Every structure is written in C-alpha cells, then in structure tokens.
Structure 1
Amino acid sequence: MNHNQYASKAYSQVSLESSVMGASPHQLITMLFEGAHASLLRAKIAAETGNVALRGKELSRAINIIGNGLQSVLDHERGGTVSAELDRLYSYMIQSLLKANLDNDIALIVHIDRVLLNITDAWKQIG
C-alpha cells in the first residue's frame, strides 16, 4: 500500500469513527442497514464475476452485521411481536445468505437484499 492509499484509508477510518460517535441510536441502526446492503451489493458483483473469495468475505460481513448488529440489539421486552418477527426474519436472512454462499445463488442474494431494503425503508420512516 503506497502512502496515498494509506492516508486515504486512515482518513476514511477517522471519518467513519466521527460519524459513529455523533450518531443517534436510530442513525446507528440505519448505518448497520446501509453497511449490510453495501456488502450484499459487493457480494452480488463478486458472484457475477466469479470472485469466490470476495463473495464469501462480503456475505460474511453482511451476516455479521445482521446477526451481531441488527438482531443482537432487538429489545424483546419492549418490542413484543415486532421484535419477535424481526428476530425470525433476521435468522431467515442469515440462513439464506449462508446457503447463497454455498450454492453461489445470486438470485437469493438479490432476494435477501430486497428484504433488507424493505426493512430499511420502514426503519427510516420511523425516524
């Protein structure tokens, strides 16, 4: 990595950290949705171009965001039925992405991304 690439990466990291530090809880969840969406788009492109390593990396990143980010912060005490339904939906999404990676199933990646975008849109309307 040359000096310019290193400086650019460092700047991006500082910019991201600044965004996260100043974000409300609602904005942080929005950032998680956007991060998962970006990873799914990169995974789709990687699958289309036959880049198996990148596909796996991006699907793993999306799975991590969905499971350890979105699913783990669900408030089951106050969320009631909505929280329980989202929990099941996130589990379905994770299982589907694991299958999509195993089978190189681009259509399944696209499907899960659409589901994610629907949830994202609903979340943004709440804010």
Structure 2
Amino acid sequence: MFSAYSPRAANAYQRINVETSMHTIDQHQLVSLLYEGVLNSIATARGAMARGDVLGKVNAISKAVRILEEGLSTSLDKVDGGELAENLGALYDYCMRRLILANARNDDAMMQEVMRLIEPVAQGWNDIKKSGAAAASADAPAATGQPVLVEA
C-alpha cells in the first residue's frame, strides 16, 4: 500500500515547496535567504572538508558560488545602483574566486575569509528591514490619528 522512501519524490516536493514560497515572500526576504544560503553552504563545505568528504565539499562550495553568481550578483541594479552595486559586485566576484581557490587547495582559511566578508553584509541587509519596520511602527500611531504616548 505504501511505497518506500523515494529521494526523487522528496526532492520534487521540496522544489515545489520552494517555488511556491518564492511567490509569497518579498524581495528583501529573498535576498536574506540568499545570504543565508551562501553562509550555510560554506559552513557545510567546511564541515565536509574536515570530515574528508571531498564530494560534499565540492557540492557545497559549488552551491555557494552559484548563489553568489546567479542569485546575488545578477540581482544587483548596475544602472541605478551606483557605487554600492559596483562595490557589492566586486565583493561577490572576489568571494567567488576565493571559494574556487579554497576548493582547489582545500583551504579552510579562505572559506572563513569569505564568511567574514559576507556575514556583515548579510547582517546589514537584515538590519535594514528591522529599522524600516521600527520606523513604520513608530509612524503608525501618528498616521492613524491615534495619540502618541511620550515618556518624560
């Protein structure tokens, strides 16, 4: 009556779940997930390398490079983004090159370097959303005509 576990079916279900959720999240959250994916992939690669799992390391680094290249780099607005987009593009390019070299040399220090470079950018991106939400909630009572309580 029930069939055995099928990794292919599970992967298909997961892919559908991801594709469905992509339509329900905002662009800010999507970029946050991309940063999280890069950092998690590098952490996975470091763990695989420590265990001697060459295939796991290669796959995880490949995933991190793909996220940087196909997700984060391509989403930069090179026309209107100005210096910020240019600097982020250079950072992503540098990180991709370092990850590829780290893969070839089995160099954990290079992977740690990329994590140290991406983490503050990811944290800053997440803080933008938090500060925007805090500003919106601070403006909300005034915008609705409700009295604002101020402590002295």
The alignment's TM-score, normalised by the length of structure 1, stands at: 0.89
Aligned residues: 126
- Larger of the two Rg values belongs to structure: 2
Mapped to 1, the partners of 2:57 and 2:8 lie a distance apart of 24
Higher mean displacement: 7-16 or 86-95: 7-16
| SS of residue matched to 1:78 | coil
Q: Is 1:122 equivalent to 2:128 in the alignment?
A: no
- Regions of 4+ moved over 4 Å: 4-11
Q: 1:4 to 1:67 in 2, by over 3 A?
A: closer
| SS of residue matched to 1:123 | helix
Aligned to 1:55: 57
Higher mean displacement: 12-21 or 116-125: 12-21
**Percent of counterpart pairs with the same letter?**
30
Q: CA deviation at 1:3?
A: 2.1
Mapped to 2, the partners of 1:102 and 1:85 lie a distance apart of 26
Gaps (5+ residues) in structure 2?
130-152
Per-residue deviation, residues 11-52 of structure 1 (Å, max 9, x unmatched): 433432232120111111111111111111110001111111
Q: CA deviation at 1:7?
A: 6.1
Mapped to 1, the partners of 2:80 and 2:126 lie a distance apart of 19
Aligned to 1:17: 19
Mapped to 2, the partners of 1:64 and 1:6 lie a distance apart of 22
The alignment's TM-score, normalised by the length of structure 2, stands at: 0.76
| SS of residue matched to 2:81 | helix
Aligned to 2:99: 97
Considering fraction of residues, name the structure with more helix. Answer: 1
